[in-house]
Amino acid sequence: MTVDHSPAPDQRSGAGSRSAGELPGPDIEAEWSRAVKILDGAAEICLACHVRPDGDALGSMLAVAHALHGRGPRVVASFGDLPFEIPRILRFLPGTGLLSPPDAVPGRPAVMVTFDAASPDRLGLLEPNAAAADELIVLDHHASNTGFGTVNLIDSGAAATAVLACELIDRLGAQMSREIALGLYAGLVTDTGSFKYPTTSPAVHQMAARLLAAGIQPGAVAHELWDRSPFAFLGLLSAALGRARLESGAVAGHGLVWTTVTRGDRAGHRLPFEVAESVIDVIRRTDEADVAVVLKEDDGGRWQVSTRSKGAADVGRACVALGGGGHPLAAGFTADGTAAEVMLALREQLDAAPMAPADEAGTGGVGAAPGRSRDAGR
């Protein structure tokens, strides 16, 4: 069976019908020009990335904040979470001092730019501000992006939003400083899974080379993002791994492995929600399962669900059907109810999710053709 990963026609950007990696030149050129013109002429620019930001969302936004800073306009950068907490693993990024809580963002911004958000609801508390903005520039790489901006810079073939942020920064004529490079590198390395996912093209490595030349120390970034955690994390990981279930017959026989990380796992040690984020990277190692799932209970008692596929199932479609979003190989959604109920609903969607043929699965076999937009990034 062939799977068409391009967005449905009614989901396509108003600024031209775009499918993965097939951006019509004149249209996208016109969008870039409009974006630069709007930003060059603005007295105040509001930046917003998706809620509970990851390295791509926050890194891309901070890189653009640095590039705009000092060029004249007032820059307000935020994300729509309250309490407003910058994930601890991202606090090493330069420029977190440039961030403001969402209530500091004007209710009706003249110009707003969004980062790594596939739909307006991913902006959380800043969704109404985006809806009211006179000009809304959407920078994103999710195939499911609805093109909700007045200017849509959306490329589902891009490995990360950071790739688009880099293009914007270049087009603004800003110099590549170490601060800018660090934000962009955090986005690139996060969404390519440290240059492991199939989106890791020669162009990705060329961009990485340029960022390293600007002064990035890759080992130091990797240490901050993945190679450290409080001792109590080991207990949480142990509890989550101990609860893992393998369902070999699920996903049409391709196998499913899943577990939970509850508030209880975190409470005793006052661990923040974000420590649960890395559990999926251990769970998804399981050879016997194509699909890996982690249900992470947030502080409000809702499940934030992470899903990953090795190529047999389109988890992006399954998650979109459950009100979430993401990419074919990495996606998520938010749910209420018991873990068993959530898994029941997800299994149903996974069984219904069309399977990609093995040779197009984008599992990143060595030498996989670059430019095919099997986008496993986040």
* Neighbour tally for 368: CB within 10 Å: 18
CB-nearer residue toward ligand AMP: 12 or 122: 122
Give yes or no for residue 332 binding ligand AMP (CB under 6 A): yes
User: Among Mn ion, ligand AMP, none, what does residue 363 contact (CB within 5–8 Å per kind)?
Assistant: none
Choices 41-49, 71-79, 246-254, 318-326 (CB under 6 A): range interacting with ligand AMP: 318-326
Question: CA-CA distances (angstroms) from residue 52 to 44, 78, 272, 330, 372?
Answer: 24, 11, 12, 16, 29
Using CB atoms, what's the residue nearest to Mn ion?
56
Considering the complex, what minimum distance in angstroms separates the CB of residue 120 from Mn ion?
A: 15
- Exactly one of 331, 350, 353, 356 binds ligand AMP (CB under 6 A); that residue is 331
15, 329, 330, 376: which one binds ligand AMP (CB under 6 A): 330
Q: For 283, phi and psi rounded to 5 degrees?
A: -60, -40
Select from 123-131, 232-240, 329-337, 363-371 the region that touches ligand AMP (CB under 6 A). Answer: 329-337
Which positions from 156 to 185 touch Mn ion by CB under 5 A, shown as an x/- string?
-----x------------------------
Q: Which helix (H) or strand (E) holds 335?
A: strand 330-335
Of 46-54, 68-76, 309-317, 368-376, the window that binds Mn ion (rule: CB under 5 A) is 46-54
CB 291 within 8 A of CB 256: yes
Size of the site for ligand AMP (CB under 6 A): 12
Q: Closer to ligand AMP at the Cβ: 75 or 187?
A: 187
Separation between Cα atoms, residue 79 and residue 304, nearest integer Å: 17
Quick count: other Cβ atoms within 10 Å of Cβ 243?
14
User: Residue 56 binds which entry of Mn ion, ligand AMP, none, with Cβ cut-offs from 5 to 8 Å by kind?
Assistant: Mn ion
The backbone torsions φ and ψ at residue 68, rounded to the nearest 5 degrees and listed phi first, read: -80, -30
Give the C-alpha separation, 102 to 123, whole Å.
10
DSSP notation for 75-116? EEEEES-SS----GGGTTSTTGGGB--GGGS-SS-SEEEEES
Considering beta carbons, is residue 19 or 177 the nearer one to ligand AMP?
19
**3-class SS of residue 145:** coil
Distance CA 109, CA 47 (A): 10
The 57-96 contact track toward Mn ion, x by CB under 5 A, reads x---------------------------------------
**How many residues line the site for Mn ion (CB under 5 A)?**
7
Other CB atoms within a 10 A radius of the CB of residue 32 amount to 16
Q: Which of residues 113-132 bind Mn ion (CB under 5 A)?
A: 116
Among ligand AMP, Mn ion, none, residue 159 binds (CB under 5-8 Å by kind): none
Distance CA 16, CA 27 (A): 6
* C-alpha R_g of the chain: 20
| Partner in contact with 149, chosen from ligand AMP, Mn ion, none, beta carbon below 5 to 8 Å by kind | none
Each residue 288-307 as x (binds ligand AMP by CB under 6 A) or -, in order, gives: ------------------x-
**Site string (85-124) toward ligand AMP, x via CB under 6 A:** -------------------------------------x--
Strands 325-326 and 330-335, by their bridges, are antiparallel
Closest CA to 284 of 258, 261, 264: 258
* Least spacing, CB of residue 40 vs ligand AMP, in Å: 29
Is there a contact between 261 and 296 (Cβ–Cβ < 8 Å)? yes
Beta bridge partners of 293: 258, 307
In angstroms, what is the minimal distance from the CB of 54 to ligand AMP?
A: 6
Q: Which residues bind ligand AMP (CB under 6 A)?
A: 122, 306, 324-327, 330-334, 378
Residues that bind Mn ion (CB under 5 A): 54, 56-57, 116, 161, 191, 378
